[in-house]
Structure 1
Amino acid sequence: MGTKLSAQQRESKTPNSSLTELRGKGSVPGVVYGYQTETLSVSVTEADLIKTLRESGRNGVINLDVDGKTLNVVLSDFQRDALKGSFKHVDFLAVNMSEELEVAVTVHTTGEAAGEKEGGVVNQPNREVNVKVKPSDIPDSLDVDVSALEIGDHLSVGDIRDTVSYEILDEDDFLLVSVTAPTVEEEPEETEEGAEGEAETEAAEGETSEESKEA
């Protein structure tokens, strides 16, 4: 069972002024497409959307009620206002609950790497993996334990593929986490030639100063 969210159907070709007015009233324009449905233009109340996502998670199944018709959907994509952080647009993908689909899942690290305690730096070059799973089994995140990683160690998809119950579509060498040695900037060594040059410059400046006084 998914979390319920109500939506209202709207005209597919809505002028920008109407969309701005819609957002000003606390609603978010969006579209629904996918399994056994024509593309629908809808709007949802932003407060209800935020509450639903908190309950279901980013990848959870939502029972979207569009004017009395209920569709099983997942949040496919969204746009946020860069300054306010509010939702500007949402895309809902209607899904078949008995068939697997491909979705991106966030990689979340747990624990403190052993190498980090020694001054190492934990890097996470890829923060999402692509998985194939039934809608009801979509994980909110892929948790990766990094506590055993020493400086120079890394974790790739191949290291954790057998620890999950769903199919990861990325290759085995797809890097998730690495621990590298800290970068230390060395101060340049002063050469004898450099030191002599500085001494000559200081001496020349001294002589010039003396000549100025005599003049």
Structure 2
Amino acid sequence: MAVTLKAAKREDLTKSATKQIRTNGDVPSVVYGKEEDSKAIFVNSTELVKTVRDEGRNAIISLDIEGEKPVDVMLHEYQTEPLKDEVIHADFYIVNMKQEMDVTVSLNLDGEPVGVKDGGVLQQPMYELQVRAKPADIPEVISVDVNKLEIGDTITVADLPKADLYEINEDEDTTVATVVPPDTVEDLEGEESDEGAEPELVGAEEDEGKSE
């Protein structure tokens, strides 16, 4: 069941009016869809943050715009003010509950690998996955058990749990977790530091000699 978030229309789109909306503790926003005209609205900042925190980034929200019939939406993107860490703008996308859509879902590694207990290091190259599903079937997170991973073992996209309600749109050979020996990590760090070093100028000494 979708969580409800109240909204109101923005009639005055001037900068001063937008600033006043933020001063009042609200977030200037836009709601739009494939077959819908975009509408300028605003929502309460506290309620928006609470909804995303409690329901997740891909939650279905029943946007209750004052004077209109509620519509099912997802938070498409939002902007924050870094210094104050406040949401200053949000985009809501109207969804068709019967139609599949592509979204990004967090990938979580559960457990402590055997290889880590033996001195290895767990690496996670991917933290998010592209998933296709109907809005109501989008998972909040996809988890994979890594307890049995030994040093040298790897989990790829093909090894992730299969589900009937969604499809993972990633290359099956892509690594999502691996346990590597400690010396491998040190080698990689060494390579990174070498890459960051300033390159030697070939022929610099010759040029200096000629200038003298």
Q: Percent identity?
A: 41
Give me the whole-angstrom Cα distance separating, in 2, the residues matched to 1:129 and 1:28.
29
Code of the residue aligned with 1:99 in structure 2: it is: Q
Asked which structure has the greater CA Rg, the reply is 1
Code of the residue aligned with 2:2 in structure 1: it is: G
**Could you say if the C-alpha distance between residues 164 and 173 of structure 1 is closer, same or farther in structure 2, counting changes exceeding 3 Å?**
farther
**Could you say if the C-alpha distance between residues 148 and 49 of structure 1 is closer, same or farther in structure 2, counting changes exceeding 3 Å?**
same
Give me the whole-angstrom Cα distance separating, in 2, the residues matched to 1:84 and 1:34.
31
Give me the whole-angstrom Cα distance separating, in 2, the residues matched to 1:161 and 1:173.
15
Matches within 5 A, 1:151-162: 151-160=151-160, 162=162
Report deviation, 1:152: 1.5
Aligned to 1:29: 28
List runs of 5+ in structure 2 lacking aligned partners: 188-212
Deviation per CA, 1:125-184: give whole Å up to 9, x if none.
111111110101111111111111112222111111535641111110222112211148
Matches within 5 A, 1:43-58: 43-58=42-57
List runs of 5+ in structure 1 lacking aligned partners: 187-215
Aligned to 1:191: none
Contact 1:3 1:55 in 2 (8 A): no
Code of the residue aligned with 2:140 in structure 1: it is: D
Return 81-90 or 140-149, whichever deviates more. 81-90
Give me the whole-angstrom Cα distance separating, in 2, the residues matched to 1:185 and 1:170.
29
SS at match of 2:73: strand
> TM-score normalised to the size of structure 1?
0.78
**Could you say if the C-alpha distance between residues 14 and 111 of structure 1 is closer, same or farther in structure 2, counting changes exceeding 3 Å?**
farther
Aligned to 2:210: none
Q: Provide the alpha-carbon RMSD of the alignment.
A: 2.1
Give me the whole-angstrom Cα distance separating, in 2, the residues matched to 1:185 and 1:84.
38
Deviation per CA, 1:164-206: give whole Å up to 9, x if none.
64111111022211221114869xxxxxxxxxxxxxxxxxxxx
Report deviation, 1:35: 4.3
Report deviation, 1:94: 0.5
Report deviation, 1:116: 1.4
Code of the residue aligned with 2:107 in structure 1: it is: V
Deviation per CA, 1:73-106: give whole Å up to 9, x if none.
0111112222332212111110000111110101
Aligned to 2:166: 166
Give me the whole-angstrom Cα distance separating, in 2, the residues matched to 1:12 and 1:99.
34
**Could you say if the C-alpha distance between residues 106 and 45 of structure 1 is closer, same or farther in structure 2, counting changes exceeding 3 Å?**
same
Give me the whole-angstrom Cα distance separating, in 2, the residues matched to 1:8 and 1:39.
14
**Could you say if the C-alpha distance between residues 139 and 12 of structure 1 is closer, same or farther in structure 2, counting changes exceeding 3 Å?**
farther
SS at match of 2:4: strand
Matches within 5 A, 1:8-157: 8-11=8-11, 13-15=13-15, 17-67=16-66, 68-157=68-157
